[in-house]
Structure 1
Amino acid sequence: MSIKLTFHQITDAFDSGSLARGKSLFRDGKATNYRATLKTQEPDYRQLLLEAQVIGSRGQLYHTDITILEDEDSAHIRSECTCPVYINCKHAVAVIFQYLQDQSRAETHEQFDSWWQSLNAVNALPMQREEWFSFQLFLGEEGCYTPSFTRSNQITMLRHHYTPKGKLAKPKPYRAETFINRIDRGVMPAEYHAIAELMRLCAEHYWAPTNIRFQGPSGFLLAKMMIEKGEAYFQNQSEPLVWDSEPFALELRYLSNSNQKAKLTVTIPKQHFLVLCEPPILIDSHQHRAQAVNSPVSTQTLEQLLKMPFAKPEQLGQLMERIEQEQMRLPQTSKSVSLPDIPGLETQEIHATPIPYLEMVDPLPNPIFHCVFQYDDIYLNPESRQAIIQERLQGKKIIVHRDLTAEDTALKQLTPWLSALTPEQLDPPTQATLFQLKAGNTDTAQGLENFIALQQALPELKAQGWILAGFDQHQVDVIEVEDIQVHSATHTDWFELSFNMRIGTQLVPMAPILENLLKNYQSSEDIPDQVHIINDDQTVLQLTKAQVAPLFDSLIQLYQRQPLTDKMRLEPFDAHLVAGLADAPLQWIGARDSLALAQKLKDFKGVTSIDVPKGLKATLRPYQQFGLDWLNFLHQHGFNGILADDMGLGKTLQTLSWCLTLKEKGDLKQPILLVVPTSLIGNWKREAQQFTPDLNILTLHGSDRFSQFEYIETADIVLTSYPLIQRDETLLSEFDFDYLILDEAQKIKNPRTKLYLSLQSLKSRHRLCLTGTPVENHLGELWSIFNFLMPGFLGNLKQFKAHYQKPIEVDRTPGVQHQLNQKIAPFLLRRTKHQVVKELPDKTEIIKTVEFDKDQANLYETIRLTMEDKVRQAVAEKGLAQSQITLLDALLKLRQVCCDPGLVKIDAAKQVKHSAKLELLLDLLTELLDGQHRVIIFSQFAEMLKRIESELKKHAIGYSLLTGQTRKREDAINRFKDGEVPVFLISLKAGGVGLNLTEADTVIHYDPWWNPAVENQATDRAYRIGQNKEVFVYKLVVANTIEQKILQMQANKQALQDQLYQQNKTNEAGQIHLQAEDLLNLLKPD
């Protein structure tokens, strides 16, 4: 017996992307050579093992192992694969669906066998009832058709019943009307309901109160049902008829007489009777059998043909011509009717070379073409593949010997441009061979290209023997565009561009042409060497790829934000998108300011180096000097941007240098508002005092800050924190600032928060964001930051999702990532450590895995199952979106169990005293401290750090502790920096950013966090400029738990971040949103 899986159980085990791609692999037959092994361990617990080989989407062969555990209430799926995803991948989905399909087929046979045994058992039981009915079928004479005004095709009902003494009474005729009425009153057995309903359909054929004639489809069903019930008898015979499921093939033949005349008839065996319902029924009166008849024509046509009188051969020939030309009312399949030879008819055979004929029968934009082959005076459709065709023409029998090879050769000449229409595409359906343009009508780019190519090939087709018709009146004129002009005008803070084509002496606006191109092609690489566009007057313009490709590349992103018009408005921050027009074969008319700015933004050729401010007490590295130059470039042109350097590369120093530059140049008319996380206020003050002491820093922090507001206008930099922005929004909104600078700007990744709206409302001439992680989870966060900096730059959020986020994260549309990178490149400056600091020592990441002991493992699984049930119940009641608090609570408890059972506040956890990971940490620390290493330990849980603190005290290990509750923050930092203690315990939230701890050479992440950027920021407290020792990073993970799944999610998020920063490179990172569905998957067992 197999394990049964529901679709819901499968969707619970796999994410939506893996399901969709796995189904595709299954449909393509990629799951091969699987072996299923069923292990029954207990009566209510079974285990199924599936081992398979799956061919991947690129042809690789992967080995996939799947374990399905079934208990009384549910089934759980685990899978491992040799593919990069490793667990719960698309290859496992393909194997499961292949297994289910095979099991369904096997179960179908089992169910039928079981049903058949039950039927036989029931059928063998004696049946007794008070009354029942039988039916007598009356037909005409043996072997022939009987006119309708007789007792032919008639049913008589007989009622059978027992006398009061238990004897069987003689059957008597029963009124059909009474039979139907009794059914309506519900007093008849249910088995007669269907019969009564069919008799009702046949009511128009009443002959007598006790008789019903059966005709048409309902008559066939009625007769068949009564025969199958074993209650129908032929005329007065005593043995019931038996239904034969094998149909009888009825053949037409000619019956000749002595006067050399003939007529059409059918061949019916002796002792057989033909019932003319739809389809006909043939009854063998000798064998008591009945069967359906396969007739070459409809029953109505057959009835008329059987009435046919004897006719002369020439009359028969005319009849056959009319039949084959479908001038008679025949069924649609009549073309397949094999008519017998007419006695005495003259025969002519044709052996000829076929002449291909092509006619354009419908005009543009949906042209239809009719194709036939001519053999002398006979025209044949290519669709028919019979080598020998029999036709009747002018009283003669014509036999055409076709040359199918020659026909195929001719048809191949059409395949580059045309494709045959199927009968289902035709309205009404037809047997003619009709063709349409490949790739649709001439409203599509490819359809128009195909039509023009066909038109240009007509002379060659004609030379090869084709007869062509209908093309002259549908000829299109192709006009070459000589050149394209770009008209440019400069306004105060924007540019205006318009594009026109010169055709002869006329200038024609290009906006409709360009819009057509943008709709029909994904990228300029898809554009053919010659492009044709059809106008309303049916003329066709011909452009070259060299003419239109630069326009396409420049305008495709503008088109996503605004419709193309004769005059396009270009914002300065979009100028670089038209840089490709500089080298294009275009005639530029008017101001070239936009083109000059475009070149500068494209490759920073216009970024000039500036002097370091005199008051700077530091030496800038070359990349930091370029950062200063870049900030000056943005300032000159009125742009805003993101300084996104890797952690530890000196974003603070570059920013302070720029602020000092503004002051020394006299450009600082109003103060700079600098907003930072609360934990970094001290760090900014310290570095400003050290590197730019000439800057007047005013700090707004603490409850006494309100007394400082009167000094804002005299300060160079006003330093405040994110939490205070919302509280002080009203006061700050009264001031004008030269710059609004946000440090750790990923804090505004959600544009719907009050913080975001408060910051957006503040007045400033320029804005700057500092963050090493502009994207942590999804591209919507990037839009949020740029919308703060330059509203409208990436369109509104709906446009951004449609044109960038969904194509990149979900659809993985080629080229879109490159378009986004190209658009933001001038305004996002990012350098990594390995790009700019060659002397930085190596960093080694090590994942240390530990397994639970039995008690901790049981606790984890108990909590997992309990919380999974709780979450599913919440989802069922409130939906997934409204159940996220319950879901996150479940995930929190699982993470806490992995860290230490004592973190989980339930009674069962109190009984588990051992923590596998804490023991691993202590062993690791002992080894590290013996080697004189200095160690930072990060954890998301402040309570976990307290437990580690207790263990360090027991082992007499010196340490410092920094959490959100630490009051003397600087003292805690200095104890470690000054070498007083070898271990620094830091909560991820309190110390993950802003600290410079190059004294450490080892970083331990006690528990993995969802976002790799957050962990990387924490690691870079030690791995940064100034570090001269090799850094080791340890990540502690419990095997077969939620922590391993978190690592996989980290890999997916890192792929998106890498993709954003890699110019002109793409990869195949899948959807990486941290959505509720992703979190729900984490609850499932490994």
Structure 2
Amino acid sequence: MRRSLAPSQVAKRTRGEDDEDWTVLGLVGPYRKPLTQLRTEPNVGGGGSSCTGGEQHERFIQSILSKPFKVPIANYTGPLGVRALGLKRAGVRRALHDPFGDGALVLYEPPILSAHDLIRADKERLPVHVVVDPQLTRVLRPHQREGVRFLWECVTGRRIPGSYGCIMADEMGLGKTLQCIALVWTLLRQGPDAKPEIEKAIVVSPSSLVRNWYNEVGKWLGARVTPLAIDGGSKDEIDKRLTSFINQRSLRAPTPILIISYETFRLHANVLHKGKVGLIICDEGHRLKNSENQTYHALNAMSAQRRVLISGTPIQNDLLEYFSLVHFVNAGILGTAQEFKRRFEMPILKGRDADASEKDRHAGEEKLKELIAIVNRCLIRRTSDILSKYLPEKIEQVVCCRLTALQSSLYRHFLRQANPIDKLQDGKMGVSSLSSITSLKKLCNHPALVYDKCVEGESGFQGALDLFPSGYNPKTLETHLSGKMLVLDYILAITKSTTNDKVVLVSNYTQTLDLFERLFRARCYLYVRLDGTMSIKKRAKVVERFNDPTNPEFIFMLSSKAGGCGLNLIGANRLVMFDPDWNPANDEQAMARVWRDGQKKTCYIYRLLSTGTIEEKILQRQAHKKALSSCVVDEEQDVERHFSLGELRELFTLNEETASDTHDKFKCRRCVNGREVRPPADTDCNSDLSQDQVLKLSWDTAVSFVFHQCSHINERQTSVILSVV
């Protein structure tokens, strides 16, 4: 029978009846004495032997209560009170953030244990929830929450066992940067084992975006982390800073995020290769499409198991480039390059050729499905259609502009003299063919761009000087000599006089930007210009100034090569693409500068093409590449096979009888009469232009045809050009 510890009962026991085994409950160390000894010791509690039994008992109790409480658990450092006696133990793991809070984004949830298993489990080794920082969670949109979860599952090996990489292929404007920042911060701070998953991370980006990444990290994480941004400086200085970064060992490293340009990384890769990082992010990752270049090898040699590649355009030209990107993040899941070419690329391209047999088409579709099934485990792709929920309407129009009489004469003269068709070798373009393409593209912009060639009598332009009007002065811009320049002049004048909108004007050639400057000075338009000669630091200031609605600049001139990606130009809501690029990704990047987060006004995109010329052929080539990308990346199953790879000869032809060679080539099924100059009343292939008074007023200048697409139209566009360009 259990003995009572009450003092009255203990006093009844005889000394030596194992009294030494009973101690005061909760007392350890110097207080470990038998109760009978405490009661019989003289002067307990400060009294003398003359005390009565009741007084002695009272003082004895008071002496116990006056002692400070000491937890009967060795080395316990937790809070006092009831929780210290068992509800909270030293070392018990807890999630960094509350997984049950409102809107919490939980990336990992530990398995639920039964009460029996919980008792037997080692509480100090139980996994905990991984929860995205609430300060980030509250700004993440639904598709961004999904993206962060996907990224985390990939880089922690939960989607593909043994593989720790992925591709974020969201289209422009969907917040890829914010999603990656949320991933990095989560990995740096927590994990299922209640400790950070990584110590350091590297972000590699084009030099023009290094400062943008630095600003974005500061915007979303504030003073909680200090990134190290490097793009330029002396070799010794950069080496010293990189060495300091790579040698950090603490989980609380002072600068856990390095932001560096591709060029600087390649030049200083030997320093970074000496250490190890937990995660590497490659922004504008399509730069790694060529697995043979030095940048690819430098990054691939980096000791970084977790890899994220960001690219809104993972397929730019061909499937082998696509393989290079997938292989970089998850080596081996598509085999070697030779195996991929034999297993996927050849049958897919063969099946997509316009002249493919039904058997080849079926075989190509099967291989395409197989490729998609493999890659989709490590690739996430959302289109800009999502933005229609958050952004105002975007109206995109492909505007075909007639050549002027001078342009037509020079175009025909060049084709006769240079005869570029005969210089095509086995369906491939050589150096002379590429030179001919450049000459024709410049001629489509304005005859002034080829005037010097005519003066010097270069190949194809011998005797062409006589075609220019007498007294022609190349230093004076004559707008009426170019169809596209004439349309541009009208668009700008009407926009300036009827709206308070700003305009972004993009071209592939700095010489064309020079012509624009002459036009703007003649019209007294205020403008800014950004090309490759402008420093990165100055670019940020120019963009910030232009976006301020109180500043008077009307036009932002942009070289597509220098500012086609990363720039936020939401101060403007109209954008003119003056000439097309062979790579559709470059045009898409440039066009995405105005329709992005923060834009409040309806956006108008004008893509100007010279009717019946090489520019329409470039557009058709873009459509072919976009169709390939749509099938592999966007999984569209009904994109038409509308372009034969053997039609290079048609590049060097001029069709002066058409309103749109592209419209004729794609055999649009919606038009009753596609050759009408004004839009037919019973078709929407040509825009009725009612939504854009600017272009409507410009129609009678030199416009021959317009393709129209609106971002907020719900029904699927059936015209090929609208669905893939």
CA contact under 8 A between 1:779 and 1:805: conserved in structure 2? Answer: yes
Superposed, 1:252-271 pairs within 5 Å as none
Superposed, 1:237-248 pairs within 5 Å as none
CA contact under 8 A between 1:1004 and 1:1036: conserved in structure 2? Answer: yes
In the superposition, relative to structure 1, how do residues 676 and 618 fare at CA in structure 2: closer, same or farther (>3 Å)?
A: farther
Residue in 2 aligned with 1:663? 188
Please state if 1:1084 is matched with 2:653: yes
**1:906 partner amino acid:** K
Superposed, 1:1005-1044 pairs within 5 Å as 1005-1044=577-616
How far off is 1:863 after superposition? 2.0
Please state if 1:927 is matched with 2:494: yes
Residue in 1 aligned with 2:448? 902
How far off is 1:1008 after superposition? 1.2
CA contact under 8 A between 1:609 and 1:629: conserved in structure 2? Answer: no
How far off is 1:1079 after superposition? 4.6
Please state if 1:840 is matched with 2:373: no
In the superposition, relative to structure 1, how do residues 610 and 670 fare at CA in structure 2: closer, same or farther (>3 Å)?
A: closer
CA-to-aligned-CA distance 1:370-399 (integer Å, 9 cap, x gap): xxxxxxxxxxxxxxxxxxxxxxxxxxxxxx
Residue in 2 aligned with 1:629? 149
Please state if 1:916 is matched with 2:483: yes
How far off is 1:864 after superposition? 2.6
The structure with the greater share of residues assigned to helix is: 2
Superposed, 1:917-1066 pairs within 5 Å as 917-930=484-497, 931-967=499-535, 968-979=538-549, 980=551, 981-1063=553-635, 1065=637
CA–CA separation in structure 2 for the residues paired with 1:1014 and 1:950: 26
How far off is 1:935 after superposition? 0.9
CA contact under 8 A between 1:887 and 1:1080: conserved in structure 2? Answer: no
CA–CA separation in structure 1 for the residues paired with 2:205 and 2:652: 36
CA contact under 8 A between 2:290 and 2:324: conserved in structure 1? Answer: yes
How far off is 1:956 after superposition? 0.6
Corresponding residue pairs, total: 471
How far off is 1:939 after superposition? 0.5
How far off is 1:1072 after superposition? 7.5
**2:653 partner amino acid:** K
In the superposition, relative to structure 1, how do residues 1067 and 747 fare at CA in structure 2: closer, same or farther (>3 Å)?
A: same
How far off is 1:1003 after superposition? 1.0
Please state if 1:809 is matched with 2:381: no
Please state if 1:706 is matched with 2:231: no
CA contact under 8 A between 1:976 and 1:984: conserved in structure 2? Answer: yes
Residue in 1 aligned with 2:31? none
Query: What TM-score does the superposition give when structure 1 sets the normalisation length?
Result: 0.42
- Residue 736 of structure 1 aligns to a residue in which SS? coil
In the superposition, relative to structure 1, how do residues 696 and 1071 fare at CA in structure 2: closer, same or farther (>3 Å)?
A: farther
Please state if 1:747 is matched with 2:256: no
CA contact under 8 A between 1:810 and 1:1070: conserved in structure 2? Answer: no
CA–CA separation in structure 2 for the residues paired with 1:864 and 1:749: 34
- Residue 814 of structure 1 aligns to a residue in which SS? helix
Indicate which of 854, 861, 874 corresponds to 2:412. 861
How far off is 1:972 after superposition? 1.9
CA–CA separation in structure 2 for the residues paired with 1:1083 and 1:1041: 8
Residue in 2 aligned with 1:683? 212
Please state if 1:728 is matched with 2:268: yes
Query: What TM-score does the superposition give when structure 2 sets the normalisation length?
Result: 0.62
CA–CA separation in structure 1 for the residues paired with 2:334 and 2:506: 37
How far off is 1:1064 after superposition? 7.6
How far off is 1:687 after superposition? 0.8
How many percent of aligned residue pairs carry the same amino acid? Answer: 29
How far off is 1:1067 after superposition? 3.9
Larger Rg: 1
In the superposition, relative to structure 1, how do residues 733 and 1071 fare at CA in structure 2: closer, same or farther (>3 Å)?
A: farther
CA contact under 8 A between 1:670 and 1:736: conserved in structure 2? Answer: no
Residue in 2 aligned with 1:149? none
CA–CA separation in structure 2 for the residues paired with 1:1079 and 1:886: 14
CA–CA separation in structure 2 for the residues paired with 1:1085 and 1:849: 14
In the superposition, relative to structure 1, how do residues 776 and 826 fare at CA in structure 2: closer, same or farther (>3 Å)?
A: same
CA–CA separation in structure 2 for the residues paired with 1:751 and 1:839: 37
**2:526 partner amino acid:** G
CA contact under 8 A between 1:809 and 1:1069: conserved in structure 2? Answer: no
In the superposition, relative to structure 1, how do residues 614 and 716 fare at CA in structure 2: closer, same or farther (>3 Å)?
A: farther
**1:771 partner amino acid:** S
Structure with more contact order per residue of length (Cα contacts < 8 Å, sep ≥ 6): 2
- Residue 826 of structure 1 aligns to a residue in which SS? coil
CA-to-aligned-CA distance 1:749-807 (integer Å, 9 cap, x gap): 11122222222112112111001000112221210101111111111122212221122
How far off is 1:610 after superposition? 5.1
RMSD over equivalenced CA pairs, Å: 2.3
Residue in 2 aligned with 1:781? 321
Unaligned runs of 5+ residues in structure 1 are: 1-607
In the superposition, relative to structure 1, how do residues 1035 and 1017 fare at CA in structure 2: closer, same or farther (>3 Å)?
A: same
In the superposition, relative to structure 1, how do residues 864 and 670 fare at CA in structure 2: closer, same or farther (>3 Å)?
A: farther
How far off is 1:865 after superposition? 2.8
How far off is 1:1043 after superposition? 0.8
In the superposition, relative to structure 1, how do residues 833 and 895 fare at CA in structure 2: closer, same or farther (>3 Å)?
A: same
CA-to-aligned-CA distance 1:930-974 (integer Å, 9 cap, x gap): 222211111101121121012101111111111111232122212
Residue in 2 aligned with 1:796? 336
**1:816 partner amino acid:** K
CA–CA separation in structure 2 for the residues paired with 1:1071 and 1:783: 23
How far off is 1:866 after superposition? 2.9
CA–CA separation in structure 2 for the residues paired with 1:617 and 1:632: 14
**1:640 partner amino acid:** G
The structure with the greater share of residues assigned to strand is: 1
**1:1020 partner amino acid:** A
How far off is 1:617 after superposition? 8.9
CA–CA separation in structure 2 for the residues paired with 1:1019 and 1:955: 25
Residue in 1 aligned with 2:298? 758
How far off is 1:615 after superposition? 5.7
CA–CA separation in structure 2 for the residues paired with 1:711 and 1:1080: 57
